[in-house]
Amino acid sequence: MAFSASWTQEQVARRLVELRKQHPDNLSIEAAANIVGFGRVKLQRIERGEVQVEPRDVVKLCALYGVAQVETERLCEMAIATRTDAWWERFGGEIGARHQEYIGYENEAQRLSTIQPVLIPGQLQTTDYARGLYAGSAMVTDPDRVQALITVRMLRQRRLTEPEPLELRAVIGEAALRKPYGGQPVFHTQLKYLREVVELPNVSIRVVTLDTPVVFWQVQLLEFHSGGPAVVYTETTFGYIKHDGDLEVTQARRVIGRVTQEALSEAESLKFIERRIKETAN
């Protein structure tokens, strides 16, 4: 069956044409395609709306055209189909099979319980905070891949505001609220975003203070509407690791329960975040 672009896809194609022509060098299709590593025919078909543009291609083109992050994300969202589509597979070249697998599980989960000792959970990160994390890491340096990873992270956050939203229970170590990734202004905005998102009825944030004698590591427990077996993931420097054995899930529940028990209450945690917002205001 021949491809038939939707109205939204046509708007993406039209906007990409405009952005190319607005480039200071007035790039031709051939010149733009060569720079981003496309064939001329591929870019021509994208601009004509003859093929469904992939989000990773949008990211590459927007990077070339100097498009602001907000518009890049908007165009990526327009290029992605509904949640029933495995949209993350379109970023396969940048995020890897294990990362794709995790997002697939998260996309279908009813509840996510996560404990994070030193970082803001990915589901609660701002774009600039996420970029600051990658800037401070020696593991991922390719700018196109970094941009794709950040875009994927932002798209995952849609689950928090869908009609049947993901229930997020996050326990965050105080260290995560003191490490200013991206710089102080970026971190201040990140803290303000936490204060906003905690107002969602499906989001819970608890803080474990530095003087609390409890040891914990990063872990994420995914539970599903179907009542099927839960899945546990840990994230290392080298990617995601899945743990789905009965014993592993039981141990993860026990760890999450213990750490949650030692954390401040939701009300106390909110006050703690508000204090950090004031402390980082200048």
Whether residue 173 is found in the same domain as residue 242: yes
Is 31 inside any structural domain? yes
- The predicted pLDDT at position 91 comes to 86
Do 69 and 149 fall into the same domain?
no
% of the chain surpassing 70 pLDDT = 93
One domain, residues 74 and 111: no
From 6-10, 22-26, 130-134, the region with the lowest mean pLDDT? 6-10
Q: Note whether residue 86 is domain-resident.
A: no
Beta carbons within 8 Å of 62's beta carbon, 6+ residues apart: 19, 71, 72, 75
Same structural domain, 128 and 75: no
Question: Taking all residues of the chain, what is their mean pLDDT, rounded to a whole number?
Answer: 88
Q: Does a structural domain hold residue 84?
A: no
Among 44, 79, 114, the domain boundary falls at 79
Across the range 110-117, mean pLDDT stands at 96
Residue 87 lies in a domain: no
Same domain, 238 and 117: yes
Please tell me whether residues 50 and 167 are part of one structural domain. no
| Cα–Cα distance, 133 to 73 (Å, whole number) | 18
Query: pLDDT tens across 196-223, in order?
Result: 999 999 999 999 999 999 989 999 999 9
User: Are both 51 and 115 inside the same structural domain?
Assistant: no
Nearest CA among 92, 84, 166 for reference residue 122: 166
Q: Give me the number of domains the chain comprises.
A: 2
Q: What is the CATH number of the domain that holds 224?
A: 3.30.870
**Are residues 69 and 153 located together in one domain of the fold?**
no
Nearest alpha carbon to residue 117 among 169, 174, 197, 168: 174
d(CA 12, CA 262): 48
Q: Does 124 lie in the same domain as 197?
A: yes
Q: Flag whether pLDDT at 2 surpasses 50.
A: no
In a domain, 130, yes or no: yes
CB count, 10 Å around CB of 114?
A: 21
38 and 73 belong to one structural domain:
yes
CA distance 237 to 239: 6
Taking only the tens place, the pLDDT of each residue in 9-57 is: 667 888 999 999 999 998 999 999 999 998 888 999 899 888 778 888 9
What is the band of 82 on the pLDDT scale with cuts at 50, 70, 90?
very low
Same structural domain, 108 and 22: no
Domain that holds residue 57: 7-79
CATH number at residue 38: 1.10.260.40
Q: Which of 52, 79, 106 is the last residue of a domain?
A: 79
Report whether pLDDT(237) > 80. Answer: no
Q: Where are any strands of DSSP class E within 180-236?
A: 203-208, 219-224, 231-236
Classify residue 243: in a domain, yes or no.
Answer: yes
Kindly state whether residues 108 and 26 are assigned to the same domain. Answer: no
* Domain assignment present for 90: no
**What residues contact 242, with CB distance under 8 A and at least 6 apart?**
98, 101, 102, 231, 232, 233
Straight-line distance from the first to the last Cα atom of the chain, in angstroms, rounded to the nearest whole number: 58
Specify if 88 maps to a domain.
Answer: no
